[in-house]
Amino acid sequence: MRTVVENAAIATVSGPEYRTGFVVVEDDRIAAVGPGSYPGPVDERVDASGCLVTPGLVNTHHHLYQWATRGLAADHTLFEWLVALYPVWGKLDADLTHAAGTAGLARLALTGCTTVADHHYVFPSDGGDQVAALAAARERIGLRLHLVRGSMDRGESDGGLPPDRLVESTEDALLGTEAAIDRYHDASPGAVLQIAVGPCSPFSVTEQLMTGAAELARRRGVRLHTHLAETRDEEQQCLAETGCTPAEYAEKLGWLAADVWLAHTVHLAPAAIRRFGETGTGSAHCPTSNGRLGTGIAPVRDLLDAGAPVGLGVDGAASSESGGLGEELHQALLQARQRGGPTALTTREALWLGTMGGARCLGRADELGSVEVGKLADLALWDLTGLNYAGIEDPVAALVLAATPPLRRVFVGGRTVVADGRLRSGEEAVIAGELATASARLRER
């Protein structure tokens, strides 16, 4: 099957931009890209007049289950917010996680996202098969999922924040993570589902779990992820307990390396930023969530200058209620310029963060993140024909600076997931209904 997307502006991200050009999709890969029109034979033509074609966006940090717990603790600090929400999350079961995951993935598809890293660290003792629930949600919506099998082993009785019933023993956490790798991790080219290892955060897990997770990930050849250096409170606690900043603690435990990407990394000393660059440690920058919780502005410019990979994330919908990735391009640009001035991040760099930067964080830069021959056909066709965009000279500026545009199409591996602004891989009304039922059930518990 050969499809040509034609008459569109194209931002390839890795190479040239075309004011009017084409992309040929053959099965699940990009077969050709260039200016003007495509002369060869095709089976299907997609008219993308007035659209900007970009790589599908890559979301490097999410907690899909939180789609069912939005709008709570709306005026709280991170630690207050966690203490308020843990008891609610403790009531999750697999059906709730499936409904929330399906809705969260649908929302992401409708905002140009084609690959999602979901950090799932909530495994209530009576919560059923959480990993299977998320894998099934992925199957329904058709996005690529990097499922980070998370864990917590430090409950209230050990000085942690989560209630004890929400945490696992260190051994169970590692066994459960390895079981997820055995069952779901696909290391082959074009994979739609991969597993990563992700203790929740240094302040909610023991040192044994941090080091055991790193050992497990390296033994199995999968990637490592956790939250790091999100707030000043976390830094104070880490200094008090370990004598190290969060970044120093991470390095001591083998967690600054090219197979690691870390959520937030807001509070980093210059020496830590240098170490991120030297080691190739990635950052999942989540500007909306950081703004919602008032945690500070991540040093994105400095990380990029140090040579460290930086991607974008929406973070969980309990701290980023919109859950859309397109608007994070906008937020990343605004926050970088608020921190570092008007030249701190260009519109093209914001798009790079949301595509190639994310692909590098997830170890998929050879297959994802740019519109290049041989890469997977994960594409977003942003429709710039409406009132919000009419007359904007530069289509990339329209995408990054204006409201998130609707999508004429979203392809994942050549398969249409969104068309004409509507989800094609599922019924939005059905998914919304399932979520409403699940959320009501959660509130009644």
Interaction site with Zn ion (CB under 5 A): 315
**302 or 315, CB closer to Zn ion?**
315
Please, which residue, 13 or 100, has the CB nearer to Zn ion? 100
Q: CB 263 → Zn ion: shortest distance, Å?
A: 5
Judged by beta carbon, residue 228 or residue 407, the one nearer Zn ion is: 228
Q: Rounded to an integer, what distance in angstroms lies between the CA atom of residue 301 and that of residue 292?
A: 21
| Nearer to Zn ion among residue 54 and residue 288 (C-beta) | 288
**H or E element: which one contains 386?**
none
Minimum distance, C-beta of residue 303 to Zn ion, in the bound complex (Å): 18
Could you tell me the smallest distance in angstroms from the CB atom of residue 414 to Zn ion?
A: 31
CB closer to Zn ion, 168 vs 315: 315
CB of 315 or CB of 328, closer to Zn ion: 315
Q: How far is the CB of 382 from Zn ion (least distance, A)?
A: 27
Per-residue tokens: 213: 């997770």
Least distance from C-beta 119 to Zn ion, angstroms? 6
- Cα 49 from Cα 441, distance rounded (Å): 45
Nearest to 29 by CA among 411, 297, 435: 411
Pick between residue 93 and residue 315 the one whose CB is nearest to Zn ion. 315
User: How large is the angle between the packed helices 170-184 and 207-220, nearest 10 degrees?
Assistant: 20
User: Can you spell out the DSSP letters for 182-249?
Assistant: HHH---STT-SEEEEEEES-TTTS-HHHHHHHHHHHHHHT--EEEEES--HHHHHHHHHHHSS-HHHH
What minimum distance in Å lies between the beta carbon of 321 and Zn ion? Answer: 14
C-alpha dist (Å) from residue 183 to 95, 178, 179, 223, 363: 20, 9, 6, 16, 20
Task: Give which of 224, 270, 223 is closest to 247, Cα–Cα.
Answer: 270
CB of 116 to Zn ion, least distance (A): 13
Q: For 393, how many CA atoms within 13 A lie in the half-sphere containing its CB? A: 0
Q: Could you tell me the smallest distance in angstroms from the CB atom of residue 150 to Zn ion? A: 10
Alpha-carbon span 249 to 272, nearest angstrom: 11
Q: How far is the CB of 396 from Zn ion (least distance, A)?
A: 28
| Least distance CB 362 / Zn ion (angstroms) | 15
| Cα 386 versus chain centre, distance | 28
Query: CB-wise, 31 or 200, nearer to Zn ion?
Result: 200
Of 286 and 377, which has the nearer Cβ to Zn ion? 286
Burial profile 371-389: b = 16 or more Cβ within 10 angstroms, e = fewer: bbeebbbbbbbbbbeeeeb
The span from the CA of 269 to the CA of 292, in Å, is 23
Which residue number is nearest to Zn ion in terms of Cβ?
315
| C-alpha to C-alpha distance for 17 and 55, rounded to whole angstroms | 12
Q: CB nearer to Zn ion: give 284 or 333.
A: 284
Beta-carbon contacts of 252 under 8 Å, excluding residues fewer than 6 positions away, are 244
| R_g (Cα) of the chain, nearest Å | 21
Taking the CA atoms of 97, 122, 112 and 339 in sequence, report the sign of the dihedral they define.
positive
Residue 151 backbone phi and psi in degrees, to 5: -170, 155
